[in-house]
Amino acid sequence: MAKDLKAFLKIRREDPRYRPIAERIKDYKDVALARSDPAVQEQASRCMDCGTPFCHWACPIASYVPEWNDLLSRGLMRPGLELLLAINSLPEITGRLCPALCEYSCALGINDDPITIRENELAIIEYGFSHNLIKPVIPDQRTGKKIAIIGSGPAGLAAASQLNQAGHTVVVFEKDDKVGGMLRYGIPDFKLEKWVLDRRIALYQKEGIEFIVGTCVGKDYSAQKLLKEFDSICLAIGSRAARDLNIPGRDSSGIYFALDYLTQSNRRVAGEKIPETEEINVKGKKVVVIGGGDTGSDCVGTANRQKAGCVTQIEIMPRPPQRRGEECPWPKYPMLLKTSTSHQEGAARYWEILTKRFIAEAGKLKRISCVKGAAQGDSFELEADIALLALGFLYPQKQGLLRELNLELDDRGNIKTDNAYMTKAKGVFTAGDSHRGQSLVVWAVAEGRRAAYFIDQYLMGRSDLPII
């Protein structure tokens, strides 16, 4: 089918569509609605097939955006799928969770709305699954080399997939009782239903990857045993040391780290029973989320589904602009005001708020003392029964495995490596948030794939894997 080369002049961007708010806050199913195939094809036709594709430049995995958009616009789904899978190990994940750095660098975005790149990516991979085009790819021969991946988040899964395809025997260790890391326990189901993750993991198992869950390496399985049994190790342990808020009243009951809250909610949604003494119950309560990022937004959406009395989100930074300014010209990624589907479901949002004190009565949180503005302006109090600290993460947890391996850390507290992702311990590599610090899922995938290339090169003297 021929493509209309002037489609970008005739067709407007159609933003994502979502289920009605009144319906979706009653469950944890995906809030997004899939487009029809003709609508996807029409949106893909807006791609101008630029001579210098900045979308490709902005993407951490350098996805072949113009190429597969062109194929998609002409209804050539199978070759488009092949191109997508050639560079992305988890497109069904990035297609749902990535903040689409590529779209902010789309050349059409200079004077118009950019291409719906993320949605188009998701449409291609889901077409592949629904038409039974995604099948296990089992290596023809094995190298005899055995690799341990520690951590089963996006970096660990991407590295495992690449190394398995190179013919190595890959074993993935996960300390939790199910595979997925932050994808399973840190992301609410209304953004990523877990059957999506389970589908990919089942595929990896058929391809020969072994998963060992409920095993904390460095505690249940010594580092020395690991070094003895495996030819190489890749640490994909994430960045789990949460940033705390050490202010007066921090020891009051009712104050929780956001990840603990989200993890418990995800376990409950999965059907697990939470002991009553450990339950974080927000029903009917005044919830204040401290931190304005994606994790804070996820807390807002979760609290609304748990029927909180009211939800307030506060952020220490100024309110971002709604449009690009001179300080952040195209094609850079702009720090713009982001209103998520969770915010649309109901939350009061405030910026430039400095949290000064937690105020308790009989040991239980009741109010939060705040100051407006960086210049320490007017002080005020927020009523709060529950406070959720969504302040980001600092670095990997240092106890256990990192200490046992005696690894060096960089100035930010992340695992220090050479340019080939290897730590000071020979044969021990790292990837993802534990290497670059807390970041995006697409960066984790990119890191995992790069680490796989260098591990393969280390073991075999050369590598045919792509560098990304």
Quick one: tokens of 234? 């890749």
The single-letter DSSP state of residue 202 is H
The pLDDT tens digits of the residues spanning 238-292 come to: 999 999 999 999 999 999 999 999 999 999 999 999 999 999 999 999 999 999 9
Quick one: tokens of 286? 């005044």
Delimiting residues of CATH 1.10.1060.10 domain(s) in the chain: 7-130
Write down the pLDDT at residue 389.
98
The pLDDT tens digits of the residues spanning 2-61 come to: 678 889 999 999 999 999 999 999 999 999 999 999 999 999 999 998 888 999 999 999
Domain 255-389 sits in CATH at 3.50.50.60
Cross-strand bridge partners of residue 354 = 371
The pLDDT tens digits of the residues spanning 165-204 come to: 999 999 999 999 999 999 999 999 999 999 999 999 999 9
Average pLDDT over residues 370-394: 91
Rounded Cα distance between 214 and 193, Å, is 22
* Closest of 94, 88, 77, 90 to residue 133, by C-alpha: 77
DSSP annotation string for 416-438: P--TTSB-SSTTEEE-THHHH-S
Average pLDDT over residues 433-451: 97
pTM for the model: 0.96
Write down the pLDDT at residue 290.
98
Binned at pLDDT 50, 70 and 90, residue 439 comes out as very high
Average pLDDT, the chain: 95
Rounded Cα distance between 347 and 22, Å, is 15
Half-sphere exposure of 164 (CA within 13 A, CB side): 25
Rounded Cα distance between 258 and 249, Å, is 18
Could you list the beta-strand ranges (E) of 133-258: 146-150, 169-173, 210-212, 232-235, 255-257
Beta-strand pair 353-361/210-212: unpaired
The pLDDT tens digits of the residues spanning 224-238 come to: 999 999 999 999 999
Rounded Cα distance between 430 and 149, Å, is 9
Rounded Cα distance between 190 and 210, Å, is 28
Delimiting residues of CATH 3.50.50.60 domain(s) in the chain: 146-240+395-460, 255-389
Q: Does domain 146-240+395-460 have CATH number 3.50.50.60?
A: yes
Contact (CB, 8 A) for 245 and 353: no
Q: Who's near 294: CB < 8 A, 6+ residues apart?
A: 99, 340
Domain range 7-130, CATH class: mainly alpha
